[in-house]
Amino acid sequence: MADQTDDVAGGFLLDLRASVRDMASGLLGPAHDPAGVLNLATNMLKIFELTQQSLAATFPPAEPIACAKGCTYCCHLLVFTDAPTVFLVADTMNRTLAPAAVAALKDRLAAFEADNFGLDTVPRPACPLLVDSLCQVYAARPLVCRAQNSFHVAQCEEKHLGERKMVEAHDVPLDVWNAVSEGLADGLKEAGYAGDANLEFSKALGIVLDTDRALERWLGGEPIFAPARWQGPGGAQGLPGTH
Ligand code: SF4
C-alpha cells in the first residue's frame, strides 16, 4: 500500500491476520470435523472479499483495473494455495460438475504434471481448471486468483510471453491476500498442519481427487499433501512466473 495508507491500514491488517489465525486454529481444533475445514475455507473467501472491497473503497486503485471476464493471463501462472482451499475446490467440483467433467479434469491434472507443470514452456499452459477461458470453480477459486488486479493488460501479456517479471497492480487486494494467507498459515501451524499452507494447486487437487476419504485422512494427521509441498522454482509466494 502507498506510504500514506500504511499507518491506517497496517494495524488493521495485523488484526486481520490474528483473527484468521484464531478462526483457523479453532475450526481445525480437536473436533477434527470435515465440515469445519470447508467452513474455514469458505469464511476465508468471504473475509477476503469483504475486506478488500471495503479497503479498496477507502484506498482506491491509482489507475483503472484492467481485469475482465475472459482474460486469462494470470491463469497461466503457477498457483499456490492452502489445504482447506483445495478441499473446498474439490467439494465444489464434485457437487457442481458432471462426473465426465471431473474425469476430464483429472486427466488434465495428470497431463499437466507429466508436462512438468508447464515450467519448461513459454508461454506456460493454463491451469487445468480453465475451460473455454472460464474457471470451472470460479466461486471457490483460491485467494491468490482473486488478488491479481492489474492496471495494464499489456503488461500481463508481456509477462505471459516471458518478456516481463512484474505487473503493476492494485496493492490493496494483494495486501489483504497476504494478511489472510499468513493468518491461515499461523492457524494451520497451531493446529498441527504446518507445511500445508503453501501447496502447488494442481498437484494438491489431484491428490484429493485420487485419495479415498482424503479430508478425513488429512484431519487425522496423514501427510497426504507432502508431494504438493513445492520444492521447485517459484516455491515462495510472489516469485516471477507464479501467482
Ligand atoms: S483456479 Fe480458476 S482462476 Fe485460478 S488459475 Fe485456475 S482457472 Fe484461473
* CA distances in angstroms from 222 to 25, 31, 83, 196, 211, listed in the order given: 18, 16, 13, 12, 11
123-162: per-residue pLDDT in tens?
A: 999 999 999 999 999 999 999 999 999 999 999 999 999 9
40-58: per-residue pLDDT in tens?
A: 999 999 999 999 999 999 9
54-84: per-residue pLDDT in tens?
A: 999 999 999 999 999 999 999 999 999 999 9
What is the average pLDDT value for the chain, to the nearest integer?
Answer: 91
> 145 phi and psi, to 5 degrees?
-70, -25
Closest C-alpha among 116, 114, 106, 157 to residue 136: 106
| CA nearest ligand 1 atom 2, residue | 135
pLDDT band for position 232 (50/70/90)?
A: low
| CA nearest ligand 1 atom 8, residue | 75
99 CA to centre of ligand 1 in angstroms: 20
pLDDT band for position 1 (50/70/90)?
A: low
> What percent of the chain shows pLDDT beyond 90?
86
State the average pLDDT over residues 198-224.
96
What is d(CA 229, CA 213) in angstroms, rounded to the nearest whole number?
20
Residue the block writes with cell 475486506? 51
pLDDT band for position 5 (50/70/90)?
A: low
177-196: per-residue pLDDT in tens?
A: 999 999 999 999 999 999 99
pLDDT value for 38: 97
**What 3-state class would DSSP assign to 106?**
helix
Would the pLDDT of 243 be above 70?
no
Which of 89, 134, 135 has most ligand 1 atoms within 8 Å of its beta carbon, as the pocket-test mutant?
135
pLDDT value for 129: 98
Contact status, residue 17 vs residue 183, Cβ threshold 8 Å: yes
What is d(CA 112, CA 216) in angstroms, rounded to the nearest whole number?
27
* CA distances in angstroms from 193 to 42, 56, 185, listed in the order given: 18, 32, 9
Residues with CB under 6 A from ligand 1: 75, 79, 127, 129-130, 135, 141-142, 145
Q: Which helix (H) or strand (E) holds 134?
A: strand 134-135
Q: Where are the domains of the chain?
A: 3-228
